[in-house]
A and B are shown apart, each in its own frame.
Chain A
Amino acid sequence: MIYRETGQYKTTYEADQQLFPILQDRIFVLLVIAFAFGAVPFLASEYLFRAILTPFLILSLAAIGLNILVGYCGQVSLGTGGFMAVGAYAAYNLALRLPDLNLLVVFVLAGLCATVVGVLFGLPSLRIKGFYLAVATLAAQFFLDWAFARIGWFTNYAPSGSVSAPPLVILGWEVVGPVRKYLLVLGIVCVFALVARNLVRGAIGRSWMAMRDMDVAAEVIGIRPLYAKVTAFAVSSFFVGLSGALWAFVYLGAWEPLAFDVNRSFQLLFMVIIGGLGSILGSFLGAAFIVILPLALNQMPGWLGVEMSTALISHIELMVFGALIVFFLIVEPHGLARLWAIGKEKLRLWPFPH
């Protein structure tokens, strides 16, 4: 099928404002989702689930959250890892202290805990901008790291500081094995990706983008800066906290505070920058890139038939990684999502140049 929108006339604003106004896009997205739910569980290997698909999906969710804050509202945050930790430890304590609570409710409540903490640390954004805000959120990261490592109550006084998740059961459905974990995460990510998309194209999303593009003008046309920034921090932290809970419960199983240190924050920031600031699709692309790239680089010498020590490989990995990030920032600062959009634009006209 040729990618054309010719003949697809919109007769109502509702039709014009739908999620994917072009028919081919709708079909493509539905096929991808159907494939992810229906075919992938039978096709993929256990290694693929454990090492790539599940972490990719969870980190996508965190990247969406960070993208709402950085890409849509223009508030730089280096505290994402800390907010993920809030979600993880909130979920741990909720499951520990209220064992009868439904696991999905635990996840949502964990997200809400992260929301509260995120709003608290987001309040300085009303007075400080740019680099200064980035440093303030970095302080949040270090404070949260410290709190979860030193305050015993959060880890239920575990002597090693390491805690583990309870068995995952949702309404009698035992989430064991990589396939079920993958399906659980996939379902949650699909729902919240839709929620994020709805928010950013609605009134609240416009007020975030208005703050990002021109904050004085935004206030002059009646957008309250307090409301716009605080809601951006709240929604973003909810997504990040939820993904933190999933990362801990579903992906790691057992973890210590180090799992959510500042490196995680940087990793997520790279994801949204490489994927594309201000794009939900970009969050997925960035997460895929960052999850798959190191694994691919690891395998590379084997494919090429070159003998290398593991230490050398990990050093090369770091170098290639850095070089790619610099390359992206120079060649396509709007990220993979922009490349995708350009590709679609070209495809609409193909085979004609104009």
Chain B
Amino acid sequence: MSTAAREFGDVILKVEGVSLAFGGVKALTEVSFDVREHEIRAIIGPNGAGKSSMLNVINGVYHPQQGQVTYRGEARRAMDPHRAARSGIARTFQNLALFKGMSVLDNLLAGRNLMMRMPILLQALRVGPALREEIAHRKRVEEIIDFLEIQHVRKTPVGRLPYGLQKRVDLGRALAAEPRVLLLDEPMAGMNVEEKQDMCRFILDVNDEFGTTIVLIEHDMGVVMDLSDRVAVLDYGRLIGDGTPDEIRANQAVIDAYLGVKH
């Protein structure tokens, strides 16, 4: 897939001068970059560079001390995660944060909970509109189950699934909310080559079929360079490179951060 052939919309998400510190530890220092609609945007960097913190700022888990995040034209510094979810930002987690006691189906349905509006009394009786709502959402969830090829485990508690499948369920739960922007925190960590290929295919399909904008953190350079349209590089909480994969490959600061500098 050539980068030139792909078209992107306007800037959907813009991070400007974000600084985040935990006590004396600076996780992020004046980071700025933007994400265009429909693109696959990678964030890379050595361990502890602040990549996950960046995602946590975008969807409101962390509140930065400085700077702002502009999402669909609306600027904000701090936001509640559930409000971010409602405005169309979904994410997956680095170290799997699935609901282990619930089945795959329930995990995915929980991803759509924010669209369910039935009053508690109707839910208690499970009649009429409440029942229809459950069925309608089940239908949409089944489409995602088909898409991710996890039909055979739909009723298995997630805690009993192997790691690779759990990663898929995590993606499915995020997709269930039909997000505009999908934040993926190391979707391929700990996977073997085949599982990585599957996951790459899913990510490209999501981007292609649903037009979802994707922000991706990943350590596998091959994957990052193949998948992403633009790459942002963080090191010690600072943005040290931003551009197309080819530009990043040639960027001396990035090479130094990864390979070290001669003293």
Contacts and interface: CB of A to CB of B under 8 A. Distances in A.
A216 B173 CA distance: 14
Interface in A186-237: 195, 198-199, 202-204, 206-207, 209-210, 212-214, 216-225, 231, 235
B101 A221 contact: no
Contacts of B82: 219-220, 222-225
B125 A214 contact: no
A203 B116 contact: yes
A209 B135 contact: no
A222 B118 CA distance: 16
Contacts of A203: 109, 113, 116, 118, 123, 133-134
A237 B18 CA distance: 44
B177 A214 contact: no
Contact of B97 (A14, A199, A216): A216
A17 interface: yes
A212 B101 contact: yes
A204 B124 CA distance: 9
Nearest to A227: B82
A217 B123 CA distance: 24
A223 B99 CA distance: 13
Interface stretch (B42-50, B86-94, B204-212): B86-94
A206 B110 contact: yes
Contacts of A17: 134-135, 138
A203 to B, nearest CB: 4
Most chain A CB inside 10 Å of its own CB: which residue of B80, B82, B106, B125: B82
B199 interface: no
Contacts, number: 106
Given A13-B139, A203-B118, A214-B97, A221 B111 contact: yes
A278 interface: yes
A198 B113 contact: no
A217 B92 CA distance: 9
Contact of A206 (B84, B98, B106, B120): B106
Contacts of A219: 61, 80-82, 85
Given A13-B135, A221-B110, A222-B82, A204 B99 contact: no
Contacts of A12: 135
B100 A213 contact: yes
Contact of B174 (A210, A212, A221, A278): A221
Nearest to A234: B120
A213 B102 CA distance: 8
Given A206-B106, A219-B81, A222-B114, A213 B123 contact: no
B123 A222 contact: no
B113 A206 contact: yes
Nearest to A213: B99
Given A209-B106, A216-B61, A221-B114, A202 B174 contact: no
B155 to A, nearest CB: 9
B123 A220 contact: no
Contacts of B124: 195, 198-199
Nearest to B125: A198
B59 interface: yes
A202 B106 contact: no
B160 interface: no
Most chain A CB within a 10 A radius of its CB, from B80, B106, B124: B124
A176 B57 CA distance: 64
Contacts of A212: 99, 101
B126 interface: yes
Contacts of A213: 98-102
Interface of A: 12-14, 17, 195, 198-199, 202-204, 206-207, 209-210, 212-214, 216-225, 231, 235, 278
A-B complex: 3 closest residue pairs judged by Cβ atoms: A222-B114, A222-B85, A217-B97
Given A206-B110, A221-B110, 5 more contacts: A13-B142, A212-B99, A213-B102, A218-B110, A231-B120
